[in-house]
């Protein structure tokens, strides 16, 4: 294929030739060969595919929430060409055997992938780290979905084991000792009072969750994790940083960090509308903190954006705040929302490219990914930067069928390619998905 007249993130107009799985040429002007498909991309933006280093595809164990087939289709529809799945499935990915079990689920993936290994008291590091794990983590310093929170001693041992094998460590940084138990007590007392007065209790008092899992809990955990990582000489990455202080703590110790679209674009001010659908870990923060996070994403302090795509069904989320599961979907909407931010002038396309592709490839050592250059994998996303459409949960490919960004404007892909194969195409409102060609990026020679 020859993609002609495309605009790259830095504004250059280039023709891009794809041969097999790779980019064969990037020039001002190329002539199409006789047997070559020529795609006119005039007025279109061509980006390297997003590398989403933090998703939860829920298989094995919870296929009613998301499967590798549905999750990878959602990824492709959102311009994501590589995903990294986290270990808190059922069984958790903490042994060689459970890694192999998860690997059997990946045959349905239409995008490339990595599989992270997890840490629990039952983990088997020798056999787990013998597998082609992408990274160790998300290592949970406090319980979240799957209840894989571990103590300080096991965390230090895990960081040492991974570092000895040259494996990066990603950390869910919350310190449960800093949670505010009085927030739950106040919430439950208020519900009891409302019930006694004959009013319907506010089962969806979602702001109580943000009050419970405090900003200080994140900062304390980031500082502790970075101290352990620095002592071990580890490559440590902080997942879903949600506060300016947490980001600054990681940056000050030369550790990398990511921010999710929901912590970038949503705050506690949105919880009246979201209810328990806005419960996630770490929780949404104040509008002031959200703005501080956005500033650090825009100015380069934050290394990358990852989604923490964590789908649950509507029925599961439609519960009281202390009973609903934590997590929101996001793999399909992250890049479109960031491109909409660029369209509005709040980010530029180069920053979006770096946050979603170039920097993740550098942080996690994916030399074939993340750039539109000769010899790189032809993981490409073609979009019309001026064409927007509303985000609608019922129209998304994810199985859960909802989104916290309902009604937001997004700039969605027209075409997504993985190693030269078109895995997603949208024409005149009709979507077509490609075959299951995804491979483990740590297994490729």
Active site residues: 308
Q: Detail the DSSP E strand segments found in 121-207.
A: 136-140, 169-172
C-alpha angle with apex 179: 178 to 181, nearest 5 degrees? 130
Contact 34, 370 (CB under 8 A): no
Contact 372, 23 (CB under 8 A): yes
C-alpha angle with apex 343: 337 to 347, nearest 5 degrees? 75
Paired tokens of 406: 């309902």
Torsion of CA 271, 275, 280, 281, to 10 degrees: 70
C-alpha angle with apex 391: 386 to 397, nearest 5 degrees? 110
Contacts of 362 (CB under 8 A, 6+ apart): 370
Residue (of 316, 279, 357) closest to 62 by Cα position: 316
Helix (H) / strand (E) element for 189: namely helix 181-196
Helix (H) / strand (E) element for 84: namely strand 80-85
Contacts of 395 (CB under 8 A, 6+ apart): none
- CB neighbourhood size of 170 (10 A): 29
């Amino acid at each position: 294929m020859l993609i002609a007249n495309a605009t790259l993130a830095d504004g250059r107009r280039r023709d891009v030739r794809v041969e097999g799985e790779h980019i064969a040429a990037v020039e001002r002007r190329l002539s199409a060969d006789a047997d070559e498909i020529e795609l006119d991309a005039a007025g279109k933006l061509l980006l390297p595919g997003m590398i989403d280093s933090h998703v939860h595809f829920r298989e094995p164990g919870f296929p009613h929430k998301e499967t590798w087939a549905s999750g990878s289709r959602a990824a492709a529809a959102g311009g994501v060409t590589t995903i990294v799945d986290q270990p808190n499935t059922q069984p958790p990915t903490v042994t060689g055997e459970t890694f192999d079990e998860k690997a059997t689920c990946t045959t349905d993936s239409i995008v490339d992938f990595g599989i992270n290994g997890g840490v629990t008291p039952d983990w088997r590091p020798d056999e787990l780290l013998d597998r082609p794990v992408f990274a160790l983590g998300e290592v949970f310093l406090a319980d979240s979905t799957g209840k894989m929170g571990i103590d300080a001693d096991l965390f230090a041992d895990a960081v040492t084991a991974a570092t000895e094998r040259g494996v990066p460590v990603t950390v869910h940084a919350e310190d449960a000792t800093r949670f505010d138990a009085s927030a739950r007590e106040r919430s439950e007392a208020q519900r009891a009072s409302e019930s006694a007065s004959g009013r319907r209790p506010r089962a969806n008092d979602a702001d109580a969750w943000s009050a419970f899992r405090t900003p200080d809990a994140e900062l304390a955990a980031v500082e502790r994790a970075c101290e352990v990582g620095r002592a071990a000489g580890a490559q440590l990455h902080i997942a879903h940083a949600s506060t300016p202080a947490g980001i600054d703590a990681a940056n000050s110790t030369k550790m990398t960090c990511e921010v999710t679209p929901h912590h970038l674009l949503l705050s506690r001010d949105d919880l009246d509308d979201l209810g328990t659908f806005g419960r996630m870990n770490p929780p949404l923060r104040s509008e002031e903190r959200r703005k501080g996070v956005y500033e650090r994403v825009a100015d380069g302090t934050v290394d990358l954006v990852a989604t923490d795509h964590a789908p649950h069904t509507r029925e599961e989320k439609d519960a009281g705040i202390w009973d609903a599961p934590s997590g929101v979907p996001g793999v399909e909407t992250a890049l479109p929302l960031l491109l909409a931010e660029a369209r509005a002038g709040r980010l530029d396309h180069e920053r979006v490219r770096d946050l979603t592709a170039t920097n993740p490839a550098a942080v996690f050592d994916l030399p074939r990914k993340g750039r539109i250059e000769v010899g790189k994998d032809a993981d490409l996303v073609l979009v019309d930067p001026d064409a927007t459409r509303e985000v609608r949960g019922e129209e998304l490919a994810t199985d859960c069928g909802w989104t916290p960004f309902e009604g937001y404007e997004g700039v969605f892909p027209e075409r997504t390619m993985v190693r030269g194969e078109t895995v997603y195409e949208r024409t005149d409102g009709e979507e077509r998905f490609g075959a299951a060609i995804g491979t483990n990026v740590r297994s490729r020679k």
